[in-house]
Amino acid sequence: MKISREGIALIKKWEGCRLMAYQDSAGVWTIGYGTTTAAGLGTIKAGMTISQQQADDWLVAALVKYEAAVSRALTRSPSQSQFDAFVSLCYNIGEGAFSRSTAVKLFNAGDVLGAADAFLLWRKAGGKVLQGLVNRRQDERALFLAGKSNAVPTPLPVAKPGLWARFWAWLKGN
Domain segments of the chain as ranges: 5-14+63-172
Q: What is the mean pLDDT of residues 147-169?
A: 48
Run of H or E including 124? strand 124-125
* Maximum Cα–Cα distance across the chain: 53
By three-state DSSP, how is residue 120 classified? helix
Is the model's pLDDT at 134 over the cut of 50?
yes
Residues designated catalytic: 15, 24
Domain 5-14+63-172 classification at class level: mainly alpha
> What pLDDT does 39 receive?
87
pTM value > 0.85: no
% of the chain at pLDDT higher than 90:
76
> What pLDDT does 100 receive?
97
Q: What is the mean pLDDT of residues 63-78?
A: 97
Residue of 101, 66, 107, 116 whose CA lies nearest to 87? 66
